[in-house]
Amino acid sequence: MLLRSGPQLRQGTFNNNPLKTTRLIEEIEKIARRAGEIVKAHYSQGVAHEFKSARQVTTSADKESEQLLKEGLLKIYACGFYGEEEGGTISRNGDHWVVDPLDGTENMNGYPPLLAVSIGLLRDRKPVLGVIYDPIHETLYSAQEGTQVRVNGEVTSVCPQADPAKAIVALDFSSRMDTRPQTLQQLARVLERARAVKIFGAPALSLAEVAAGRLDLFFRPSTKLSDMVAGICMVRESGGKAVDYGGRDWTINSNGVIAGSSEMVEAYLPCFR
């Protein structure tokens, strides 16, 4: 990711008119579903992968989905664009689409079938909108700053229970090998407290499930921007909290994320220090 200062990009109008806001979200959801159809078709047929780094793979589904997202999103709202496959430039001001065309690529040829299309919007480097679509289970999550989180149209929020011993915690390992010893140490401490621990292999989907109240906490080192923006917006708008391993509010420059209700984040934060 490139971060630079530059001229402010044109701001959107969707915070100024509720009707336009609703229509914009609906258009984004339609685009997410169309990208999800590409992902689901490739998943059903089987798809070959190629390595884009020593431990990261990509597929034709990733590339086709990202192309559809880029064309569709820039058509309804022209601003900056950053994609998992193509990358891009994030300036210090203005609006930027941030997308992961296929969250969970490693799950495409295996089990579990946990995959997602993630669409986020950054405004002045702050997550302000998120749409995440799970095409296998046909589950659509959406949120925007100042509104409630919805899952398939139904309003939801983070889980209200605050007992860390009853928590279901999810994590995701980074492909960076230098982070794994630390993650294993953190996991050992989490296991001493949590009721159960799950690994989805799809960070955006894990964050969406925290926002939906079905996971109590999620943590991951070395966060990738395309995995985080939509889900972070959802967690915050559902009444939750997203911080780095030092307990500071998550930003696009953060290393590591802990997301959940304020009570859960505070209860588990010592595991990461």
Q: What is the CATH number of the domain that holds 117?
A: 3.30.540.10
Residues 150, 266, single domain; the answer is no
What gap in Å lies between CA 267 and CA 38, rounded to an integer? Answer: 40
CA pair distance 132, 256, nearest whole angstrom: 20
Tens of pLDDT, residue by residue over 29-72, are 999 999 999 999 988 776 656 666 555 656 778 899 999 999 99
Q: What is the pLDDT of residue 89?
A: 87
User: What is the arithmetic mean of pLDDT over 204-208?
Assistant: 97
**What average pLDDT does range 244-251 have in this prediction?**
96
Q: Answer yes or no: do 203 and 222 share one domain.
A: yes
Return the beta strands (E) in 88-146 as ranges.
89-91, 95-103, 116-123, 126-134, 139-144
Task: List all residues 6 or more positions away from 126 whose beta carbon is below 8 Å from its beta carbon.
Answer: none
Whether residue 90 is found in the same domain as residue 193: no
> Of 270, 228, 210, whose CA–CA distance to 245 is shortest?
270
Q: Are residues 116 and 143 in the same domain?
A: yes
What are the residues whose beta carbons fall under 8 Å from the beta carbon of 189, sequence distance 6 or more? Answer: 270, 271
In whole angstroms, what is the distance from residue 162 CA to residue 216 CA? 9
Residue 2 has pLDDT above 80, yes or no: no
Q: Are residues 14 and 144 in the same domain?
A: yes
Confidence of residue 176 (pLDDT cuts 50, 70, 90): confident
Q: Which of 48-52, 84-88, 185-189 has the lowest mean pLDDT?
A: 48-52
Lowest mean pLDDT, pick from 21-35, 41-55, 104-118: 41-55
- Lowest-pLDDT range, 44-53, 68-77, 159-168, 201-210? 44-53
The last residue of a domain, from among 104, 127, 156 = 156
How far is it, in rounded angstroms, from Cα 33 to Cα 2? 29
> H helices of the chain, where?
18-45, 60-76, 180-191, 203-211, 225-237, 262-268
User: Of 11-25, 88-102, 149-163, 239-253, where does mean pLDDT reach its minimum?
Assistant: 11-25
How confident is the prediction for the chain on average, in pLDDT?
88
Look up residue 256 and give its two tokens: 């590591």
Give the residue with greater pLDDT, 18 vs 198.
Answer: 198
Q: Supply the CATH number for residue 239's domain.
A: 3.40.190.80
Domain range for 61 is 2-156
CB 102 within 8 A of CB 108: yes
Distance, C-alpha 184 to centroid of its chain: 22
Would you say residue 157 has pLDDT above 70? yes
Of 112, 137, 156, the position where a domain reaches its end is: 156
Residues 23 and 140 occupy one common structural domain: yes
pTM of the model: 0.90
Which of 156, 189, 222 corresponds to the end of one domain? 156
How high is the pLDDT of residue 197?
97
Q: How far apart are CA 39 and CA 61, in angstroms?
A: 6
Question: Do 103 and 11 sit in the same domain of this protein?
Answer: yes
Mean pLDDT of 106-115: 82
pLDDT of residue 1: 46
Q: 148 and 168: one domain?
A: no
pLDDT of 4 strictly over 60: no
Report how far apart the first and last C-alpha atoms of the chain are (Å, whole number).
27
Beta-ladder partners of 82: 98
Which amino acid belongs to residue 254?
S
Q: Are residues 52 and 152 in the same domain?
A: yes
Given pLDDT bands bounded at 50, 70 and 90, which one contains residue 15? Answer: low
CA distances from 78 to 9, 25, 58, 59, 111 (A): 9, 15, 27, 27, 37
Average pLDDT of the segment spanning 64-92: 93
Give me the pLDDT at residue 8, please: 35
Question: Considering the chain, what percentage of its residues have pLDDT values greater than 90?
Answer: 71
